[in-house]
Amino acid sequence: MPPTASAIGDARTGWQYPPPMGDGDGDVVTGSLEPTGRFSTAGLSRWWHAAARSDELARAPLGRVVFDVPVVLFRDASGAAAALVDRCPHRNVPLSVGRCVHGQIECGYHGWRFDGAGRCCAVPGLAERGDPDRGARRVAALPVVESDGMVWVAVGAGGPATAEPPRLVGVGEPGYRTVGLTLDVPGPMLAAVENALDVPHTSFLHRGPFRGRAERVPVGVTVRHRGDAIEAVFEGEPVPPGLIGRLLSPDGGVVEHTDRFVAPALAQVEYRLGSRHIALNACYTPVDDRSCRLIAIAAYRLPIPESVARSALLPLARVILGQDNRMLRLQQQTVERFGGERFVHTPIDVLGPHITRLVRRLERGEATSGALPADEQVTLLT
C-alpha cells in the first residue's frame, strides 16, 4: 500500500515522513542520516551480465528477464548459446514457453520457428513459396558470449559497453572443481552485492551455520581501488569457525581472505590457506530496479572428495542465502514503504558505499582510469 501524500512526523525528535529525498546521486556519507536517495542501475544495461550458467542451457529454452527485458536463451544448431527477445513477432507470446527443435526455437501458439540469429524459418499453414515477408518476421537477437561457464548478454541500446565480460576466479583452471547455483533475490543488485561482501552481518545473522566465534578478534582490512573493481583484503584473520574453515584447515591457522566487487555486478569472495582455495563468483544480474538474480559458480581446490565438498557446500549456501534473502526482502519493503533509502554508514561498512559510488560513475560514463583513491585501513572485530 502506498503511503499517503500527507507529510507527518514528530517535531521533537526531528523525524519526518516521507523523508526528504536526496538527488539520487548515491553519494554516501559515513555517519549521516541524510537520505542517500535511491537510484536505478538501468545505466548498466549495456554491460555484459550473466543470464545463465552454461550448464543451465540444455534441451529446453530458458526464459530470463534482464533489466526488464524478457530474453529467451537456447543453443542453436551449432551448439552455440543464442539470446533472442522473448516475444514471438506474430502474436507476442513468449518464445520461452515453446520448445527447441533442431537448434531452432518453436513458438507454442502457431509453431513459428526461429534460428539463433532470430530469422523466421517456418510458418505452419503458410502456402506461399516466395515468402517476401520473411524478413519482417525476424526476432531481435541480443549480443551473447559464453565464457567461464556463464552465458553473458548485453541488452542495452548501443551494444556491449566492454569487449569482454568479467573473468571468474578458478573456473576452468587446473585442479579446480566447480558447483553452480541460481537463485532469485528479492532486492536490488546493489543491496545484494553489498550483502554478499559484508562481513559484519555474517557474525550476527549467520552465527549458527557460518561463523560464531566465542570472542571477537580484531582484523585489519585494506580497501583497494582498481578502476572498475574494489577489493577488501583481510590481514591476520584466523580460520573462520564453521564448515568453510574446516574445509580450509582442520587445524586452524591464518587465512588469506579477499572480498571483491568487479563491475558491473560481480561479487567475489576468496579464502586461501596454502594450496587450498575457495572462490565464490556471484553474479547479481538485475531483473529490474527492485530485484535481481544470483547466478553463481563456486570454484574450489581442496584435498577432499568432490562428493563431500558438494554435499557440504550447496546445502550450507542455501541456508545462508535464505537468511540473506529474508533480510534483503525486508530491506526492500521498508525502502519502498518510506519512499527511498536512508542509510547511515560506519567505518566497518568497508565496501558498500564505495561500490555505490563506483557504479554511479560507471553509469554516467565517467572514466575509471584516472587517479584512484588511496588505499584505506580499517579495523574490524570479526
Touching a copy of itself, residues 233-292 (CB under 8 A): 288-291
Please state the closest distance from residue 242 (CB atom) to a copy of itself, in A.
Answer: 17
Judged by CB under 8 A, the residue of 59, 129, 130, 136 near a copy of itself is 136
**Could you give the CA distance from residue 25 to residue 38 in angstroms, rounded to a whole number?**
8
For CA atoms 76, 81, 85, 86, give the dihedral sign: positive
Site membership for a copy of itself, residue 125 (CB under 8 A): yes
Cβ atoms of 347 and 29 within 8 Å: the answer is: no
Tell me if 42 contacts a copy of itself by CB under 8 A.
yes
Q: Does 89 bind a copy of itself (CB under 8 A)?
A: yes
293-332 residues in contact with a copy of itself (CB under 8 A) are 327, 330-331
Residue nearer to a copy of itself on the CB measure, 49 or 277: 49
What is the per-residue DSSP string for 299-324? Answer: EEE-SS-HHHHHHHHHHHHHHHHHHH
* Contact residue for a copy of itself among 21, 99, 119, 137 (CB under 8 A): 137
Among 256, 258, 301, 338, binds a copy of itself (CB under 8 A): 338
Q: Identify which of residues 189 and 298 has a Cβ nearer to a copy of itself in the complex.
A: 189
Three-point CA angle 129, 101, 123, nearest 5°: 25
The smaller minimum CB distance to a copy of itself, of residues 66 and 313, is found at 66
Among 119, 177, 201, 224, binds a copy of itself (CB under 8 A): 201
For the segment 150-179, give every residue that binds a copy of itself (CB under 8 A).
Answer: 155-159
Among 343, 354, 355, 362, binds a copy of itself (CB under 8 A): 343
Which H helix or E strand runs over 143? none
Q: Does position 141 bind a copy of itself by CB under 8 A?
A: yes
Does the protein bind a copy of itself through residue 109 (CB under 8 A)? yes
DSSP codes, 166-209: PPPSSTT-TT-EEEEEEEEESS-HHHHHHHHT-SHHHHHHTTTT
- CB half-sphere exposure, 349, CA atoms < 13 A: 17
Q: Output the smallest distance, CB 337 to a copy of itself, in A.
A: 6
Cβ-based nearer residue to a copy of itself, 9 or 252: 9
For residue 308, the minimal CB distance to a copy of itself (Å) is 32
Task: Tell me the three state secondary structure of residue 378.
Answer: strand
Q: Three-state DSSP class for 114?
A: strand
In 3D, which of 274, 279, 217 has the Cα closest to residue 251? 274
Piece of the chain touching a copy of itself by CB under 8 A; list 119-127, 223-231, 261-269, 354-362: 119-127
* Nearest CB to a copy of itself, comparing residues 226 and 337: 337
From the list 91-99, 228-236, 247-255, 264-272, the region that binds a copy of itself by CB under 8 A is 91-99
Position 334 contacts a copy of itself (CB under 8 A): yes
The alpha carbon dihedral of 204, 206, 210, 212 has a sign of positive
Residues 344-373 that bind a copy of itself (CB under 8 A): 344-348
**Distance from C-alpha of 231 to C-alpha of 377, rounded to nearest angstrom:** 12
Options 32-40, 47-55, 173-181, 263-271: segment touching a copy of itself (CB under 8 A): 32-40
**Spatial distance between the Cα atoms of 340 and 356, rounded to a whole number of angstroms:** 15
SS3 29: coil
Rounded (10°) CA dihedral 304, 307, 313, 316:
-130
- Residue with grid cell 562481513, as numbered in its chain: 199
- The reply on whether position 14 binds a copy of itself by CB under 8 A is yes
Q: Which residues contact 183 (CB under 8 A, 6 or more apart)?
A: 293, 294, 296, 321, 325
Using the rule CB under 8 A, which residue among 15, 102, 274, 304 binds a copy of itself? 15
In the complex, minimum distance from the CB of residue 121 to a copy of itself, in angstroms, rounded to a whole number = 14
